[in-house]
Structure 1
Amino acid sequence: MQIDLIKGHGSGNDFLLIDEITNAYSFSEGERAKLATLLCDRDSDLGADGILFIMNSDQADGKMRVFNSDGSEASMCGNGLRLVARYVCEMKGLNEATIETMKANLKVSEQKDIYPDVITYQVEISPVSFLLEDLPLKLNQANLLNEKISELSQELTFTALAVPNPHLISIVNTEQLQSGVQKVISEKVNNPNQLFPDGVNVSFVKNLAEGSIYVNTFERGVGFTNACGTAMSASSLVTCLQELNNVEEIVNVYNNGGRVQCVVHEDDENYSIDLIGNATYMYQAYVDVDLESETFSVSSKEEFTEQSTYEKLQADAQDFLKKAGL
């Protein structure tokens, strides 16, 4: 089969976009997983953190399904949602839209550029739950808010929440961030274990200054990524809960792929987060795929010019982190 796709990224978290609205594709569930493991292979001619399937919806302007590079399906993806938001809004001539995801219909909108000439979208991250059964996390308590998990660390404290992807967040100092302990913990909870039967995204968060944080994430099904949108959103919420930042105010979130902004909203102890950042297209490609033999070839590739502009944002973000000692 021949597939027309776009490769894009949000904060360096890169995806292949496959449009099922205007193309007559019909994939089985097994084929979606196979496409993800095949096309997202970093040793291939494409490579990505996952595939975003953009589909028709009977209850929203479009629907997003997210398959990670290991073939597993994610219930949400904040960085990917910005790309889907852009694609659907541009296709339908909209400035704002609603996108159906696995757990909720989420509002998205085009925003003023987060950096000169960097196309920017805002997406809603919700619902938020602190119930451990929603991750799930197997502890004999209802929730975990800035507490230790003895099986993981005698030193670090963690907060667990679902947004709706499951996240384990620890606010750390520079030494802890650079120690390598995050890799050890992340691999433990994403291999067979008694705590997280379905695995979990693990983020270490360093507070930089009021209104600025750094987030490093080991993403379930992917590994360490340049950025994870739901992790940055969840981390911003956790810093507000610990009074390092404030609700209803912009939090600049730095990551290995650049910078985004988050705004945490609270309504009678119910939370949602706005995630604001780039939606950058890298190239469009036509790919000939043979799923039986698990092979593919790229028949053509046309580069976009947006990446060079985004790299200026990325360079500024890296300079900021260097000055902060990271």
Structure 2
Amino acid sequence: MVIELLKCHGSNNDFLIIDEMENPLFTEEQRSELALLLCNREKGIGADGILFVLNSDHSDAKMRVFNADGSEASMCGNGLRCVARYVCEKLSIQSAIIETMKANLEVKERESILDEIPTYQVEISPVSFELKDLPLHLDQKTLINEKIQGLSEISYTAVAVPNPHLIGIVTKEQIQSNIQKDISEKVNNPNELFPDGVNVSFVKPLSEGSIFVRTFERGVGFTNACGTAMSASTLVTCLLGINEFEQPVEVYNPGGKVRCVAHKVDESYKIDLIGNATFTHRLQVEIQLEQQIFSYVKKEEITKEISQYKSLEEHSKQVLNEWL
């Protein structure tokens, strides 16, 4: 089978897009197998996951996300920006509704975040602080800036957006240590607290209205960026009074930066995630899933977009060098 692929990234969190809108190509089992085959950085193309774009009965399109380990994610903010751009350009529209596992989400094209970089805004919701929605097994309903006995001395907030996140506000020394790696591996291997694992983010406030977020992503490991983690981290800093609701927060990450705005309406929350949707390669590959092999038929680098994003990387590095 020969298929077309588009390699893309949001904040250097990279993906492969497979369009199944006109013709569903794969079974559930094959989607998982395909992620294991193609996302492998040593033997495959290399990516954090595959974004499958399908038809939706009630939205402009449907997104399904399969991580590099073959597991399916309920949501992916950086991936959604890439799918938003793909769908909007395919349908010649500036805004759309994308169906995800837990919600139908608004997406739209925005002014460039820097130097003509293609930029999209996506809605991150629903948001829940109830531990049963992660799930996190503790004898309490929520965890807001509290220590978890036996885990570490850092205080955490647990939130589902809708995928699960454990977020700690940390010092410069803590973010540069091995604490995050040790904790992340503990809660993503068999454990009594998080039966399904959890994304773990360390957040370092920078100047007013800006933060740095480093994330260990469930099913992936440390990533250049995790869109839902940056969104959830922004929301947590607003809850704790570090930043303000309805105000833009510049969120720096190892792969660049995004802009987030947290909203509170009565007792509910949602976050706008605004950032790049960069297309880096157009690929055509021949796949033999039964033999777990593939070969390139065509590989075209989109040099202009790769070059455009480097300016954002350099800007982010300069900012982080001042603070970390």
Taking structure 1 as the reference length, the TM-score comes to 0.98
Aligned to 1:6: 6
Query: Residue by residue, what CA displacement relative to the aligned partner does 1:172-196 show, whole Å, maximum 9, x if unpaired?
Result: 0001111110000000000000000
Q: Superposed, which structure 2 residues align to 1:305-316 within 5 Å?
A: 305-316=304-315
2:193 maps to which residue? 195
Which range is displaced more, 206-215 or 39-48? Answer: 39-48
Equivalent residue, structure 2, for 1:175? 173
CA distance in 1, matches of 2:40, 2:57: 33
Q: Classify the secondary structure of the residue corresponding to 2:318.
A: helix
Separation in 2 of the partners of 1:109 and 1:102? 19
Separation in structure 2 between the aligned mates of residue 3 and residue 13 of structure 1, nearest angstrom: 22
* TM superposition shift of 1:26: 2.2
1:87 aligned residue: 86
Q: Which runs of 4+ in 1 moved over 3 A?
A: none
In 2, the alpha carbon distance for the partners of 1:21 and 1:288 equals 20
Match of 2:295 in 1: 297
Q: Does the 8 A contact of 1:45 with 1:298 survive in 2? A: no
Q: Distance in 2 between matches of 1:287 and 1:143?
A: 47
Residue of structure 2 in register with 1:29 after alignment: 28
Classify the secondary structure of the residue corresponding to 2:109. strand
Q: Distance in 2 between matches of 1:92 and 1:67?
A: 24
User: What is residue 317 of structure 2 aligned with on the other side?
Assistant: 318
Q: What is the distance in 1 between the residues matched to 2:61 and 2:44? A: 29
In the other structure, the counterpart of 1:248 is: 246
Tell me how far apart the structure 1 counterparts of residues 19 and 234 of structure 2 sit (CA, whole Å).
Answer: 31
Q: Structure 1 residue 241: deviation in Å? A: 0.5
* Letter in structure 2 aligned against 1:181: I
How far residue 3 of structure 1 moved from its aligned partner, in angstroms, is 1.1
Q: Name the residue aligned to 1:60.
A: 59
Unaligned runs of 5+ in 2: none
Match of residue 288 from structure 1: 286
Q: How many pairs were matched up?
A: 323
Which residue number corresponds to residue 123 of structure 1?
A: 122
Gaps of 5+ in 1: none
* 1:7 maps to amino acid: K
- 1:107 aligned counterpart, secondary structure: strand
- RMSD over aligned CA atoms reads 0.7
Tell whether 2:20 aligns with 1:20. Answer: yes
Q: Give the TM-score, by structure 2 length.
A: 0.99
